[in-house]
Structure 1
Amino acid sequence: MGVSDRGEDWNWTKNDGAGPPPEIDITKPSIARVYDFFLDGKDNFAVDREIGEMTLRIVPDAKEAGRASRRFLQRVVHHLAAEEGIRQFIDLGSGLPTQGNVHEVAQRVDPSARVVYVDNDPIVLTHGRALLATNDTTTVIQADIRDPEAIYANATLRRFIDFSEPVGLLMFSILHHLHDDEDPWGIADRLREPLAPGSFLAMANFFDAQDEHPESSKQAETMEKVFNEHLGTGRWRTREELMRFVGDFELLEPGLVPLADWRPEPGESWERSATYYTFSGAVARKP
């Protein structure tokens, strides 16, 4: 279900071919569906493709940035599962399922690894439940990152996650969709605080490189305007602002870097255009 290669909106078979479920508004762009477009997915609509195409006119390698983000996620999850022994993950702002999801990567290391996907978009819940119908170690819940206490109190999440043991808390492409007046740093503090020692925070964020790469800072300013005008959200932050999300957690090497520079696999590359420096990631451990 979703969008065909010809750009036509398919019927939603989970809704008896009658169109998308009523709670899904296809007249307004969705962050999850726009990201799906950048990953060449099929679960997006004309309004989402319009924003995606607009972005590509300004940032021609935006799809490559989306793919770099997905590869970063996969490298991080594999490292946490294979090298750090993490066996339970919370993926905040998980977005629409695609290839190489968190549970697929983690469960290749250990089939018993537990994963909870969290997103506030009803389309993610619809797709996630269909995808995970036969997976008893992975689930998806609908919740909003702006309310950390409600997320952690969720009965379904509590059945999967043992907070007395280390957790991999994943915040990929989510914190930059919180405005400054929503106190994203306070939200990050509240999300980190209940985690057991030995837990990890992994994040990927839009990055305003400023003095480090002035050409990318100009692009960041343009993209921030586009995202806020059409999606109502999107914030490119400085290194100092992003490091505040880590708090007292200890950064793993190589620190806060462009996504493609975080422990790349042999042969992985991304042309170092201005866009290269506008998306950064980091992983940190709770002492």
Structure 2
Amino acid sequence: MPDTPFRPPAVGRSPAGVDTSRASIARVHDASLGGKDNFEVDRRALGAVLEVAPGMAAVSRRNRAWSRRVVRYLAGIVGVDQFLDAGAGLPATGNTHEIAQLVNPWARVAYLDNDPMCVAHGRGLLETNEDTLYLQGDLTDPGVLAEDSAVWRYLDRGRPVAVILGSVLHHIAESAEPAEIVARCVRVLSPGSFVAITHYWDPADGSPEHELAREVERRFVENGLGTGWFRSRAEIVSYFGELELVEPGVVPVDEWWPSGPPRSPQTPEERLILGGVGRKGEGPGFGSVVPFPGKG
């Protein structure tokens, strides 16, 4: 079935305290999913990108499908029962706790975001579930994942935790050191924990996709949103640091253990986002690939 074309939702009423003069990462993402929790300024920022890359709305849907597969794998096959969805954004269909608790009803999930609108909506919609919590915090703040932070007062960092960083790090500037942000998180995790990452990818110079990535990045950064960087595969892999990569490694998101038969050929835009999952091991020998269960 072909993807549903993007249709801007109707204008909503602005919640108290929300700045509608500037585009928001979370609201632009919501608009790309066809959601209703966004405003004209967000749709303009998205529209500037869709002018040159109409497939970017499908990227959001593919990324969300990747997240659901990863959570099912970690909660089901691996048996992780604690999740931190960092940079969670606005609630939508198939939230992390819904997927995890379908597999393990006792799974506990903490959400984290720096956007007050996300926190307000998250607390209203998600905390009706006694095993979820939505916290406000910025990943660029070293204290947000410190050992004594609210995150670890809710989750037991003495046992494995799965950290989901879906479409987060490409909104963090180099000056904020995204690799160090991941490393700080990994340092407080117990062995057997996992970190899942997706990130916009800039292929090698000379390819048509490289030119597309550069133009989409320019429109993200210069047309209202202010963030949205495309980085090389080597840079993206470096964010996993010494984590052991789960097969098939860092790949286009639709290639990370797809469910069902192969789908229709990807658009150029859909090839410009990579995803992977890394595991914190017990000792030396990091950087290897952990076989996917049931595979040789």
Deviation at 1:268, TM superposition (A): 5.3
Query: What residue number does 1:278 align with?
Result: 272
Supply the distance in 2 between the matched residues of 1:152 and 1:40 (Cα, whole angstroms): 35
Conserved? CA contact 1:209–1:277, under 8 Å: no
User: 2: distance between equivalents of 1:216 and 1:191?
Assistant: 32
1:41-190 superposed matches below 5 A: 41-153=35-147, 156-190=150-184
CA distance in 2, matches of 1:179, 1:156: 25
Shift of residue 154, structure 1, vs aligned partner: 6.2
Closer/same/farther in 2, CA of residues 6 and 202 from structure 1, 3 Å limit: closer
Q: Secondary structure of the residue that 1:263 maps to in structure 2?
A: coil
Change over 3 Å in CA distance of 1:186–1:49 after alignment to 2:
same
Kept after mapping to 2: 8 A contact 1:144/1:151: no
Contact 1:36 1:44 in 2 (8 A): yes
Question: Is there any run of 5+ residues in structure 1 with no aligned partner, and where?
Answer: 12-18
- Give the C-alpha shift of residue 95 in structure 1: 0.6
Aligned to 1:227: 220
One of 16, 29, 33 as aligned partner of 1:21: 16
Measure, in 2, the Cα distance between the counterparts of 1:283 and 1:6. Answer: 33
Query: Is this contact kept in 1: 2:12–2:39, CA < 8 A?
Result: no
C-alpha distance 148-85 of structure 1, shift in aligned 2 (>3 A)? farther
Match of residue 9 from structure 1? 11
Q: Could you tell me whether the CA contact under 8 Å between 1:91 and 1:171 is conserved in 2? A: yes
Quick check: 1:148–1:191 contact (8 Å CA) kept in 2? no
C-alpha displacement of 1:123 = 0.5
Q: What root-mean-square deviation, in Å, do the aligned CA atoms of Structure 1 and Structure 2 show?
A: 1.6
Aligned length: 274
CA distance in 1, matches of 2:195, 2:251: 15
After TM superposition, the score normalised by the length of structure 1 is: 0.91
CA distance in 2, matches of 1:66, 1:150: 26
Q: CA deviation at 1:8?
A: 3.6
Aligned equivalents of 2:217 and 2:120: distance in 1?
29
SS of the residue aligned with 2:78?
A: coil
Q: Structure 2 regions of 5+ residues with no counterpart?
A: 1-6, 282-296
Structure 2 counterpart SS, 1:40: coil
Cα gap change, 1:6 to 1:162, in 2 (>3 Å): closer
Could you say if the C-alpha distance between residues 122 and 286 of structure 1 is closer, same or farther in structure 2, counting changes exceeding 3 Å?
Answer: same
Counterpart AA for 2:65: R
Q: 1:52 to 1:143 in 2, by over 3 A?
A: same
Following TM superposition, by how much is the alpha carbon of 1:270 offset from its aligned partner in structure 2, in angstroms?
4.9
Q: In 2, Cα distance between the equivalents of 1:241 and 1:155? A: 28
CA–CA distance in structure 1, aligned partners of residues 108 and 8 of structure 2: 37
Higher deviation after alignment, 177-186 or 29-38: 177-186
Aligned partner of 2:204 in structure 1 is 210
C-alpha offsets along residues 231-260 of structure 1, whole Å, 9 cap, x if unaligned?
111111101111111011111111111111
Code of the residue aligned with 1:171 in structure 2: it is: L
Distance in 2, matches of 1:224 and 1:270, equals: 26
The one-letter amino acid of 1:239's match is R
1:50 to 1:6, Cα distance in 2 relative to 1, 3 A: closer
AA partner of residue 225 (structure 1): R
Q: Deviations over 1:85-140 (max 9, x none)?
A: 11001111101000011000001111111111100000001100110232111011
Q: How far does residue 269 in structure 1 lie from its aligned partner after superposition?
A: 2.1
- Using the alignment, how far apart are the partners of 1:148 and 1:78 within structure 2? 29
Deviation at 1:7, TM superposition (A): 4.3
Structure 2 CA distance for aligned equivalents of residues 171 and 53 of structure 1: 25
**TM-score, normalization: structure 2?**
0.88
Is the 8 Å Cα contact of residues 69 and 259 (structure 1) preserved in structure 2?
yes
**Corresponding residue to 2:235 among 241, 249, 257:** 241
